[in-house]
Amino acid sequence: MAATATVTINATIASFGGKLLKVAHNAKTTGCEMKFNLYLPPQSGSAKVPLLIWLSGLTCTAENASEKAFFQHGASKRGIAVLYPDTSPRGIGIKGEDDAYDFGSGAGFYVDATADPWATNYRMYSYITEELPQTVFENFATQIDAARVSISGHSMGGHGALSLYLKNPGKYKSVSAFAPIANPLKAPWGEKAFKGYFGEADWQTKGAEHDSTELLKKWKGGPLDILIDVVSFVDFDFYFAFPLGPEHTDFSTPPPVQGTGDNFYKQGQLLPENLLAAAKEAGQEKGVRVRFQPDYDHSYYTMATFADDHIEHAAKYLFLSGTL
């Protein structure tokens, strides 16, 4: 039997009746020290609780969402632990690693790189799906139920949550996302990341293996129930946004966008329309619920506002005996 991975708890902070732990460990997958935050709700003191993995967006660390998104509020009421990983390896020393906000440090894109010099350390897909949860389950075995895990995320992390869920049917009980990069093959952020991590020759074929829109087209895992909040001003002649999702049936072009809302949506970085078109193609249009929220933006104000909704979405499945 392999030895339990050692973790160091650097801080314990009270939060909504539970405890937020700031944790570090030496990760074999990435070849460096990785940090994560773990929220243990008050119920974890007397029984095992399910786990929600939260994947953050570009530039973020384990700190951002745990300090500003307020998932602990709903999680403490429902008895759900929340795991906040980092978004990339740190301090590897690769030339150019820290040059851009959208590639390298803070921008691992939840893939395993195959192109040099990134392939050795930038293996966030394997870290998030294998090493990190196993480390958490081993070190917090009396508090966390390894059989009940859901996943969610924001922006790049929304891409990560959706793609990990769709690539691994049955691994996660539920998935939700805020403003995800839903079709990275067609988005400037995604194209840059995939070209860098997979190489110019392979970025489209390998990228398709991590593109939620492409994965959804091929989905054979049964009925879906995906909750997505996207921020924009939309023409409600085209979209009936809340709570049932869009009624617009022409998915070839995005709806007219008015006002400001989420500038990244307007820049074509998110492309939820493409995900909705893929859902229709796969016969899953009722299983992908996109709520277009007017007046908000791409920030943590939005996540804090709707965090409880996403906790409730996860709880609906984390407290069932079956698997989606």
Annotated catalytic residues are 155, 262, 298
Distance (Å, whole) CA 211 – CA 215? 6
Residue 198 φ/ψ, nearest 5 degrees: -110, -15
CA angle 301, 260, 60 (to 5 degrees): 40
Q: Backbone phi, then psi, for 227, in 5-degree steps?
A: -105, 125
Structure tokens at 130: 């294998």
Write out the E strands in the chain: 7-15, 18-27, 32-40, 49-55, 81-85, 144-154, 175-178, 226-231, 288-293
- How many Å apart are CA 215 and CA 202, to the nearest integer? 17
d(CA 114, CA 136): 26
State how beta strands 18-27 and 7-15 pair.
antiparallel
